[in-house]
Chain A
Amino acid sequence: AQSVTQLGSHVSVSEGALVLLRCNYSSSVPPYLFWYVQYPNQGLQLLLKYTSAATLVKGINGFEAEFKKSETSFHLTKPSAHMSDAAEYFCAVSDRAGGTSYGKLTFGQGTILTVHP
């Protein structure tokens, strides 16, 4: 079974500071990994995804994440936070194998990012 653990339910940073949101995964097969962002009362928007190409993945809005197999991690970073980055962020894993779990996303609990002026 797959699982995702996001360390820290709330992260607070100052505008212009580094953003680091932590995600560790567990999967019995090589995974696909995703980061989604959710603004209040909205659906989920994909920030970036890892599908076994480059281990450093660049996404939208200046975010990037690095896949580290040895650490089973896929942490999300952004060099300089903007006020507009305030939202909830979800890490998710998908089974790349076939079967009934194919395409199913397993999400972490989410991390709420607050950006202070």
Chain B
Amino acid sequence: DAGVTQSPTHLIKTRGQHVTLRCSPISGHKSVSWYQQVLGQGPQFIFQYYEKEERGRGNFPDRFSARQFPNYSSELNVNALLLGDSALYLCASSWQGNGNTEAFFGQGTRLTVV
């Protein structure tokens, strides 16, 4: 079975632009979470979706938004990009999205803002 897939793997954007990152969870998983990992730091929680509803949101500005589709795939959107948005964006899927079910991570999307 395929693991969590994210696209694209790398992209370069200019300040002020908009970006959309995509994630396909493992088949059967209903929860998708997004994390931002800045170089040299641990991942920071951005959003969690379960059954197409937002379950949790981290301390990120409103420029960040996400959604989950009926097939449980997800998009993360970032508007008005800043240099500080440069990071590895990780998507994680889990069956239930509660505290003790394992979260499986994708390879990430490396976003560079210039």
Bound together, the chains give a CA A104 to CA B47 distance in angstroms of: 8
Decide if B108 is an interface residue (CB 8 Å cutoff): yes
Question: Using Cβ atoms and an 8 Å threshold, which residues of chain A touch B72?
Answer: none
Question: Using Cβ atoms and an 8 Å threshold, which residues of chain B touch A36?
Answer: 105
Interface flags, A85-102, vs B, CB<8A=1, else 0 = 000001010111100111
Minimal Cβ-Cβ distance residue in B for A101:
B56
Number of interface residues of B (CB under 8 A): 33
Interface 9-residue window, one of A11-19, A73-81, A105-113: A105-113
Decide if A61 is an interface residue (CB 8 Å cutoff): no
Decide if B97 is an interface residue (CB 8 Å cutoff): yes
Decide if A51 is an interface residue (CB 8 Å cutoff): yes
Number of interface residues of A (CB under 8 A): 28
Which of B43, B58, B94 has the most chain A CB atoms inside 10 A of its CB? B43
* B residues in contact (CB < 8 Å) with A: 4, 31, 33, 35, 40-45, 48, 50, 55-58, 90, 92, 94, 96-108, 110
Given contacts A102-B55, A107-B42, 13 further A-B contacts (CB under 8 A): A42-B108, A43-B4, A43-B105, A43-B107, A51-B99, A92-B42, A102-B56, A103-B50, A103-B55, A103-B98, A103-B101, A105-B103, A106-B45
* A residues in contact (CB < 8 Å) with B: 4, 32, 36, 41-46, 49, 51, 90, 92, 94-97, 100-110
